[in-house]
Amino acid sequence: MWLYVAAALLGLFLLRRWHRERQTVPRLSEKHVLITGCDSGFGNLLARQLDARGLRVLAACLTEAGAAQLRAATSNRLQTVLLDVTSSKSIADVTAWVRERVGDRGLWGLVNNAGIAIPTAPNEWLTKEDFVKVLDVNLVGLVEVTLSLLPLVRRARGRVVNVASVMGHVSFFGGGYCISKYGVEAFSDSLRRELRPFGVQVSIIEPGGFQTGMIDPAPLVDGFVRLWQRLPAEAQAAYGRRYLDKYAESTTLLHRLSSSRLSLVTDAMTHALLSRCPRSRYAAGWDACLIFLPLSYCPAWLSDTILGLFLPIPASAVP
């Protein structure tokens, strides 16, 4: 008896959530959304999707070539601006540019999408500068962009959408990428609680593996070789050349298994921006939902054992 009651209540809860999440905010044509990292990948596709729905998209690109390509593929509503998220001056200039365009309405949506992954390698192969290069874009830049634009988002009682990763739950490889995504998770969590009283919603997007070009096998493998060559002789002997070759093969295999359906991620971003009841987190991709997120809740010995199956064995490994 109680089992049927529990099942019925659960069904009603899911039905109510489904109904609420399907409702979108009104007056889309009046809403401005700033997206970073629009040269390619998720940001580029999201800008085109939102433009097609009639929103006023402010697309921040790193290069003029990327901006020109995006303008050619969208309507006159979409406006582009050059932004380097590692430059405080560039962020300040873009903030002033956005303020001129949104006026008293404020900024409805901020999508922090810009990011890099290279250099990625075993941690011992990297220097402090290698870590800083990634953290400056993926975490510090994201924080500074958010803080600069928060007054405009608060005025609109709008949305902040931060792109993290399932690697913000499980660090599958070394380097600054996974560290930065853990940081994005923490920053977004605290920001969500702080801004809720102002009516601002903060959502985190957690993609799995997608073929965006950000982690292209060719430059990654070339990077592994360069990092290997600069290692001291003792470290090279400890890992062995076979470790380098197998590490590169595993990276190439993971890229092949990644999804090419970027819309899985951009649809989640769109829902976070336009739904009356956005979610706090969106997992995107079969590997995110079925592998990495479940692994993040497993005991360390189990997740280490499973993920260790994909890593090569160093030449001087303890027997």
Six token digits for residue 172? 């599958």
- What is the reported pLDDT for 15? 66
pLDDT bracket for residue 155 (50, 70, 90): very high
Residue 259 has what pLDDT? 78
pTM of structure? 0.90
- Residue in the structure block whose two tokens are 């190439």: 252
Residue 96 — very low, low, confident or very high, per pLDDT cuts 50/70/90? very high
Pick the range with the lowest mean pLDDT from 23-37, 108-122, 160-174, 245-259: 245-259
What confidence category does residue 25 fall into, taking pLDDT thresholds of 50, 70 and 90? Answer: confident
pLDDT in tens, 286-303: 888 888 889 999 999 999
At residue 258 the predicted structure's pLDDT band, cuts being 50, 70 and 90, is confident
Q: What amino acid positions are annotated as catalytic residues?
A: 177
pLDDT-derived band at 72 (thresholds 50, 70, 90) equals very high
| 159-163 sheet: strands from edge to edge | 79-82, 56-61, 32-35, 109-112, 159-163, 201-207, 281-284
**Measured between alpha carbons, how far is 167 from 292 in angstroms, rounded to an integer?**
8
User: What number is the average pLDDT over the span 262-275?
Assistant: 96
Q: Give 8's pLDDT tier (boundaries 50, 70, 90).
A: low
Is the confidence at residue 14, as pLDDT, over 70? no
Q: How far apart are CA 176 and CA 303, in angstroms?
A: 21
The residue ranges of every structural domain in the chain are: 29-212+260-304
Band the pLDDT of 7: cuts 50, 70, 90: low
- Could you say which of 3.40.50.720, 3.40.50.1780, 1.10.8.350, 3.40.1260.10 is the CATH number of the domain covering 29-212+260-304? 3.40.50.720
Q: What is the pLDDT of residue 35?
A: 98
Residue 152 above 80 pLDDT? Answer: yes
Tell me if 147 sits within 8 A of 137, measured CB to CB: no
Q: Which residue has the higher pLDDT, 209 or 55?
A: 55
Residue 32 has pLDDT above 80, yes or no: yes
